[in-house]
Amino acid sequence: MAKAKTLFFCKECGYESSKWLGQCPGCRQWDTFVEEPVVSKTLSVSARKEIKEPVLLSDVKAETETRVVSGIGELDRVLGGGIVPGSLVLVGGDPGIGKSTLLLQMCREVVKQGRKVIYISGEESREQIKMRADRLGAFGGELLLLCETNLDLIEAVVHKYKPEIIVIDSIQTMYKEDIASAPGSVSQVREATGALMRLAKDIGITIFIIGHVTKEGMVAGPRVLEHMVDTVLYFEGENHVSYRVLRAVKNRFGSTNEIGVFEMLNSGLKEVKNPSEYMLSGRPVGEPGSVVTASIEGTRPILVEVQALISRTSFNMPRRTAAGTDYNRVNLLMAVLEKRLGLQLGDCDAYVNVAGGMRITEPALDLAIVAAILSSYRNISVNGNTIVFGEIGLTGEIRAVNLADQRVSEAAKMGFETCILPKANEANLKVNTGIKLIGISNIQEILQYIKENR
């Protein structure tokens, strides 16, 4: 008998190779290749007769999409206004971050509208799901539960009950009988996702699939998994903080710039309507090294606190640490301060932190980082009612940032009295909030402000 054909797949990114490789050429990871059989599928004669003819684009009538409100405002914001029927949504996140809790809460709100929902779990029993549901609160509608991992049986149940929304928990536990590899392997995850995608498009139902993540924070399995689905949502958060951020990295039906903020409680996830107030709660006022800045997440301005600690070191190599922002960007800004202001930071340890566990990488954070470093280095506190934002270039100039109006409006709403911003943004500002605006053009001016307003 002829030997069955096999290929080698990378477990991290799905790269295919005819032979085993030590390092994956796609994701550069080591020892990630696994050998799996190849399933050859040929197009039958009857299938060839059903090939559709192409049509002119001008003849296609575009219909307005009808979205289903999930009942969770933050989730609807990230999805682009609600759930799109016939879409396939992938939700990824670290273990225990709240993926199953979020989707179970969504199911509770959707069934209250009289819609039929099936929650399919391959990891938990019905009793375990019931215990979580009781913790979340009463379910007003009828939610169907199915504990199954065989996709062929799942498709039969879906065709029988014809639900509007399906939740799959998780895609790594699903398998198809005609694939010889084990559940969670590259072949099984890819084929299972393809089967669910065809099911969603053919019947017009919305399918949410939960995916485990790797140590790098990416969805486990082949990278093609993200390309197959319509929407990819990542649930982010830290173990030591109670808030969670839902972020869209791909969305065919909306923007990928929106985020949803939740707080994890004993009774489930609670929406955070005012993230700025939540992030600034408990901040020290009048302490050197603490500066408040305005970040833009999607279309929403969020005020966060930037902290810096500069101290002399007795070691030859000073230590530099950045939490919540780009480490290389902090080193670049410190080099600008040494060159343009003549500061001696080469013998100082530097620790920069975005308080609250948020991670912000936009350039508008530059001026706040520099102000916090100068405040800690000079041991001079920045006025607690002052907010700072702006991008810094290599020559020390302060460059304009986008959406300055929203940043200033959010600062005024939170009670801040002074805003230090780029001079270019001050000239083009259209809002009149009553907040005092100080436009600066270089880092010498921010140092002068800190000295004069100690």
Give the residue numbers of the binding site for ATP: 93-100
Task: Report the 10 Å Cβ neighbour count for 109.
Answer: 18
The total of other beta-carbon atoms located within 10 Å of residue 263's CB is 16
Q: How far apart are CA 132 and CA 267, in angstroms?
A: 9
Q: Tell me which residue of 404, 410, 444 sits closest to 427, measured CA to CA.
A: 404
Closest CA to 310 of 357, 340, 344, 339: 344
Residue 170, preceding peptide bond in cis (omega within 30° of 0): yes
Phi, psi of 228 (to 5 degrees): -80, -35
Q: Which helix or strand (DSSP H or E) is residue 398 part of?
A: strand 398-399
Residue 435: partners with Cβ closer than 8 Å, 6 or more residues away: 408, 411, 412, 416, 417, 418, 419
**Cα–Cα separations (whole angstroms), residue 119 to 50, 207, 357, 378:** 34, 10, 32, 58
3-state percent helix, strand, coil for the chain, nearest multiple of 5: 30, 30, 40
CA distance 107 to 91: 14
- Region at 114 (left for phi over 0; alpha for psi -120 to 50; beta for the rest): left
Backbone angles phi, psi at 409, to 5 degrees: -65, -40
Distance of CA 357 to the CA centre of its chain: 14
Task: Report d(CA 404, CA 362) in Å as an integer.
Answer: 13
- The 3-state DSSP class for residue 378 equals helix
Binding residues: 93-100
| Alpha helices by DSSP H, 93-220 | 99-111, 126-136, 151-161, 186-203
Nearest to 15 by CA among 34, 1, 2: 34
User: In angstroms, rounded to a whole number, what is the distance separating the alpha carbons of residues 53 and 251?
Assistant: 28
**Six-digit token pair at 288?**
């050197």
**Residue type, position 84, single letter:** V
